[in-house]
Amino acid sequence: MAGEEIVMDSVSDDKNFSRFPACVRLKQLAHAPYDLTQPEALNGKRLEAYVCRTPHFDLLYGTQRIDEAVLECLQDLADQSGVIEQFKQMKQGAVLNRIEGFDSESRQVLHTACRDISSASPKAPEAVAQAKRELGKLAAFLNDLDEKRIVNHRGETFTDLLHVGIGGSDLGPRALYLALAAYRRPERRVHFISNVDPDDAAAVLNGLDLSRTLVNVVSKSGTTLETLTNEELVRNAFKRAELDPGRHFLAVTGENSPMDDPERYLRSFYMFDYIGGRYSATSMVGAVMLGFALGFSQFQEILKGANEIDMLAEEPDIRKNPALLLALLGIWNHNFLGCETLAVLPYSQALVRFAAHLQQCDMESNGKSIDRQGRELNHQSGPIVWGEPGTNGQHAFYQLIHQGTTTVPVEFIGFRKSQYDQDILIQGTSSQEKLLANLLAQSLALATGQKNVNPNKRFAGNRPSSILIADRLTPRTMGALLALYETKVVFQGFAWNINSFDQEGVQLGKVLANRLLGHLSARRQDDSYSGADTDMTGWTLLKTARAFPAGQDE
Amino acid sequence: MAGEEIVMDSVSDDKNFSRFPACVRLKQLAHAPYDLTQPEALNGKRLEAYVCRTPHFDLLYGTQRIDEAVLECLQDLADQSGVIEQFKQMKQGAVLNRIEGFDSESRQVLHTACRDISSASPKAPEAVAQAKRELGKLAAFLNDLDEKRIVNHRGETFTDLLHVGIGGSDLGPRALYLALAAYRRPERRVHFISNVDPDDAAAVLNGLDLSRTLVNVVSKSGTTLETLTNEELVRNAFKRAELDPGRHFLAVTGENSPMDDPERYLRSFYMFDYIGGRYSATSMVGAVMLGFALGFSQFQEILKGANEIDMLAEEPDIRKNPALLLALLGIWNHNFLGCETLAVLPYSQALVRFAAHLQQCDMESNGKSIDRQGRELNHQSGPIVWGEPGTNGQHAFYQLIHQGTTTVPVEFIGFRKSQYDQDILIQGTSSQEKLLANLLAQSLALATGQKNVNPNKRFAGNRPSSILIADRLTPRTMGALLALYETKVVFQGFAWNINSFDQEGVQLGKVLANRLLGHLSARRQDDSYSGADTDMTGWTLLKTARAFPAGQDE
């Protein structure tokens, strides 16, 4: 028995993040991290050495608090935790969405298959075949739109698409649409409804010409409350306009879900349970809307960019694998230097919603407290991710990043060229140059700080940052950027030995909300109903918030 | 000499946050904060007792980790730090924007005067008179628009307004416009350009009918680089369209600033140096745009709501003063329970940019490391503020809030009724009820947690939250909400003994950006120019990032 226990422990310890020899050593190194404020700390040799160049993005990380010893340990951590091996297994269809020994989703994790569509020998042939089948359906549908085989009842083309989804069915697709609006087909626009807030739908519907609008309803289960509620709101609007929803509504859903119904939808496109919502932007979840807006070939460019990162991510040398390097630098700042948050600050207004997508992708994936064996973690898992575009943020929250009492690691994202090429020279430089110069200057200022006799003009420095920079934000670089962050998050989860693919933490709120809705519904039908007997807390909270319609709460 | 030093120290200690007797006691109490997960912890008596009711918002705080002892200490902290007294001095024009003994802005702080316009005996009569004068100019201008005395060269009315500003001249006004879009005059729309990213301007300008567009340029100094650059971009577009900018451009700026020029602007409205950018939404900075969009009387409603909070904020009993209570609960969570961040989660899609405004208002105000005597702080100052509307967030980052390794205090904001009154009953409840039930349920779930044999279905609970709830998001409640948070931030700064009104932390980045721009500009004119001799780090970073136009970087 004792022998067995030891074997169990030793098996477990193999996966325990805190006990990796690399982590023990990193903890020591964290007592005296590289001091960026020293003269010559940011010398040319260092800045040039700490760059990871890829076909799209360069990752500059000389302004992180690392040196050769730390980088070697981070390489050891990658090796000891076997992140590359796990990533390869993931791409081949290993059942990684599970908690060993406990009831869990027990699913494969195959978002990478969506974009592995050009390989002669794909890693996950079945999933790739499914992805190709759906892409084929989509290409045919988009072609029917272009050739005016699918038109409204008056024979007109569709100019607008209303995308209805929430969470992963909203944030990623929306971030991509906004990022690539410069590449939009000029005659086509997209609108989004996500929130169960009825004002969200009302604000969008007011002013839409429904007769020329397609509605794309996205829900894997076909049962998402917000999405079904909003779909019903929109269907009612179509009925009031005496339009046949069957000519306008599309479904993106699981095969055989309640939404997979040709009677109610013009077309159904399928998503599969091996792709989690927050990793689904390159599946049909994003494809239908983006294909409509940008055209099919531009959507393929997104897939190409993402696939290039998926391939690069198999590289075991951390200095050549930007997703892995981002993951490990994040772990260094978070687990060893003790920073709770991460600011992602794109110097591109088009990326205005990219941080909101990352909040889901990262925080839903890695905001966990147990490991893949169901044991409580003895280390920090995912950070709080937040951010807004620069230079706007410089005039807002950067004050705290520079002079606050909390250290906020930053990941800057920038581009050398603008999307529209509409620029102007003022004081000898273009706006795009001003944008980029500000990004680089912020990184320097955070690192070096500044001494001054006036304490209010002092900057402590040693605030770490990285810079991701590409030539231009295009569909291809956007696909690469998306995959970079998806893969970073996955790598961190592998290193921490957590399941980055489930989201049990959203369940309790749902259950309690339904209980409260039960009270509201029962009270609406029966003034004498009281839920206080069975649910004193919920009932009292409803009363305290005066949540019952007027006249009913007393 | 020794005597003098003691006097100095004792004066200083009076203001040192950590040495307030209340703080010493709070530190002890924080060892065993109220346990929200115990059975009966959220009993009816508690929930009903821990509500602060005001004419607009109710603040429910029974789901915070507080008890009577903590509340009494928080009251003591408010008293010992003299926050109410300081607030009253602020409203009367005390020079609170300063660091004693060091060169600093040395200004009054009088954003409250903007809305103190109905009082017979205002606290700051001169500033109130200035506010009224500007409001009078605005009312006359808006009237001229309505009466078609101001029209375009074809005699048509103006349908669109392009608001050009950044930071405080953008975030607050934009958040308010989006929050109140339901009250917009249907024939009028507003657009925003803020970022120096040229794509921001290009995306907005593409598709605008400039001939019917007013351009509102907002910069207190009249020298903000981003805003002047964007103004020039827009002026060029007007020239290309052969339109006279003098008929279209408005200025909101300081009197006698470079932008105060009747030759270039149809009208100038003034802002004053006693109102910081992040507190300026109710000054002309927000007024011109909101007056155009909503009409003058709706803008007055915003002022009325804000003024009601300004009055309420003089109440010394923390249980009757919602701004003060929010401030102190925040201090409890941040300084004593050790939470680095604060999530502000409005259950209202219209408040989609309110958290972005708060990021500036809070983090720029209180992201400081020195006190008002120039000494380094020995306690945490302002938290990292972030958030997105619910229920969207529930499908995104709530996983981490419920089950992550970091505790995130939450401030929920909700409304009992929708703005548009376009709703639908599904499964016996309206969308608005679903929205509100979800908000309340999340607060409960975070507090109580849940036990389970499956570790993945366990919720630790004890995650603190408050709920701000009002009947409906109207111009008046929006004004109240804005002032609630402005005042909360000010109270926290007073308690921490920091200057919440300057922003020295943004300067270093500006200086370094200008240095890099100097290199780019010089290199553009002279291929042989090298800045490496004088600025090796900056020059190398530019080269490493390949920031020089193609062909110039080697």
Residue of chain A whose alpha carbon sits nearest to that of B279: A396
When pLDDT is averaged across residues A220-239 and rounded to a whole number, the result is 94
Mean pLDDT of chain A: 95
Checking if the pLDDT of B91 tops 80, the result is yes
Q: Please state the ipTM of this predicted complex.
A: 0.96
Task: Tell me the two tokens of residue B500.
Answer: 């919440």
CB contacts, 8 Å: B521 with chain A: 427-429
When pLDDT is averaged across residues B223-245 and rounded to a whole number, the result is 95
pLDDT at B10: 38
Cβ(A131)–Cβ(A287) below 8 Å: no
Contacts of range A289-292, beta carbons closer than 8 Å, 24 or more positions apart: A289/A161, A289/A163, A289/A173, A289/A177, A289/A190, A289/A216, A290/A173, A290/A176, A290/A177, A290/A180, A291/A138, A291/A139, A291/A142, A292/A142, A292/A145, A292/A158, A292/A161, A292/A188, A292/A190, A292/A214, A292/A216
Q: Does B367 touch chain A (CB under 8 A)?
A: yes
CB contacts, 8 Å: A460 with chain B: 369
Residue of chain B whose alpha carbon sits nearest to that of A446: B509
Report d(CA B463, CA B444) in Å as an integer: 9
Q: Does A35 touch chain B (CB under 8 A)?
A: no
Checking if the pLDDT of A95 tops 90, the result is yes
Q: Which of A399, A435, A540 faces B197 most closely, judged by CB atoms? A: A435
Q: Which of B171, B513, B546 faces A441 most closely, judged by CB atoms? A: B513
Q: Which of B294, B314, B358, B257 is nearest to B116 (CA)?
A: B314
Distance from CA of B130 to the nearest CA of A (A): 26
pLDDT at B550: 57
At B6, the pLDDT band (50, 70, 90 cuts) reads very low
pLDDT at A14: 75
Q: pLDDT tens for residues B28-65?
A: 999 999 999 999 999 999 999 999 999 999 999 999 99
Q: pLDDT tens for residues A330-356?
A: 999 999 999 999 999 999 999 999 999
Contact check, Cβ <8 Å, A399/B203 = no
Q: Which of B60, B384, B448 faces A408 most closely, judged by CB atoms? A: B384
Tell me the pTM: 0.96
Report d(CA A125, CA B322) in Å as an integer: 59
Mean pLDDT of chain B: 95
Helix (H, G, I), strand (E, B) or coil at B97: strand
pLDDT at B449: 98
Contact check, Cβ <8 Å, A455/B370 = yes
When pLDDT is averaged across residues A419-443 and rounded to a whole number, the result is 94
* Distance set, CA A491 to CA A4, A70, A486, A503 (Å): 31, 18, 9, 17
| One-letter amino acid for residue A450 of the chain | Q
When pLDDT is averaged across residues B361-370 and rounded to a whole number, the result is 98
Q: Which of A395, A414, A454 faces B166 most closely, judged by CB atoms? A: A395
Cis peptide, bond prior to residue B391, ω within 30 of zero: yes
pLDDT at B225: 87
- Catalytic member of B301, B364, B411, B486: B364
pLDDT at A553: 46
Q: Which of A60, A370, A443 faces B456 most closely, judged by CB atoms? A: A370
Distance of CA B331 to the CA centre of its chain: 18
Interface of A with B in 280-339 (CB under 8 A): none
Report d(CA A359, CA A278) in Å as an integer: 10
Q: With 0-12 CB in 10 A as exposed, 13-18 as middle and 19+ as buried, what is A30? A: middle
Checking if the pLDDT of A4 tops 60, the result is no
At B3, the pLDDT band (50, 70, 90 cuts) reads very low
Report d(CA B239, CA B245) in Å as an integer: 8
Q: Which of A389, A384, A335, A284 is nearest to B396 (CA)?
A: A384
Q: pLDDT tens for residues A139-186?
A: 999 999 999 999 999 999 999 999 999 999 999 999 999 999 999 999
Contact check, Cβ <8 Å, A196/B434 = yes
Checking if the pLDDT of A10 tops 50, the result is no
Contact check, Cβ <8 Å, A431/B402 = no
Question: Which region among A257-266, A277-286, B541-550 has the lowest average model confidence (pLDDT)?
Answer: B541-550
Checking if the pLDDT of A3 tops 50, the result is no
Q: pLDDT tens for residues A524-547?
A: 999 999 998 899 999 999 999 999
When pLDDT is averaged across residues B528-544 and rounded to a whole number, the result is 93
Percent share of chain A, pLDDT over 90: 93
Checking if the pLDDT of A189 tops 90, the result is yes
Cβ(B542)–Cβ(B524) below 8 Å: no
CB contacts, 8 Å: B416 with chain A: 545-547
At B207, the pLDDT band (50, 70, 90 cuts) reads confident
Q: pLDDT tens for residues A13-52?
A: 678 999 999 999 999 999 999 999 999 999 999 999 999 9
Report d(CA B506, CA B91) in Å as an integer: 26
At A225, the pLDDT band (50, 70, 90 cuts) reads confident
- Catalytic member of A364, A368, A411, A486: A364
Q: Does B442 touch chain A (CB under 8 A)?
A: yes
Distance from CA of B225 to the nearest CA of A (A): 9
At A314, the pLDDT band (50, 70, 90 cuts) reads very high
Distance from CA of B315 to the nearest CA of A (A): 23
Report d(CA B26, CA B332) in Å as an integer: 8
pLDDT at A7: 35
pLDDT at A13: 60
Tell me whether residue A488 is one of the annotated catalytic residues.
no
Contact check, Cβ <8 Å, B381/A233 = no
Q: Does B422 touch chain A (CB under 8 A)?
A: yes
Contact check, Cβ <8 Å, B423/A515 = no
Q: pLDDT tens for residues B114-143?
A: 999 999 999 999 999 999 999 999 999 999
Checking if the pLDDT of B230 tops 80, the result is yes
Interface of A with B in 133-162 (CB under 8 A): none
When pLDDT is averaged across residues A484-507 and rounded to a whole number, the result is 98
Interface of A with B in 489-518 (CB under 8 A): 499, 502-510, 512-513, 515-517
* Sign for the pseudo-dihedral over CA of A246, A249, A254, A258: negative
At B554, the pLDDT band (50, 70, 90 cuts) reads very low
Tell me whether residue B395 is one of the annotated catalytic residues.
yes
Q: Does A441 touch chain B (CB under 8 A)?
A: yes
Report d(CA A516, CA A510) in Å as an integer: 10
Q: Which of B439, B415, B396, B353 is nearest to A167 (CA)?
A: B396
Write the DSSP assignment of A81-124 as a string of letters. HTHHHHHHHHHTT---B--TTS----B---GGGGG--S-SS-SS
pLDDT at B15: 83
Best A42, A348, A399 member to test B by mutation, with max B CBs in 10 Å, is A399
Q: Euclidean distance between the first and final Cα of chain B, in Å?
A: 62
* Distance set, CA B78 to CA B84, B196, B314, B382 (Å): 8, 42, 12, 17
Q: Does A187 touch chain B (CB under 8 A)?
A: no
Checking if the pLDDT of A550 tops 80, the result is no
- Strand duo A160-164 + A189-193: pairing: parallel
State the DSSP H helix or E strand holding residue B284, giving kind and residue range, or none if neither. Answer: helix B284-294
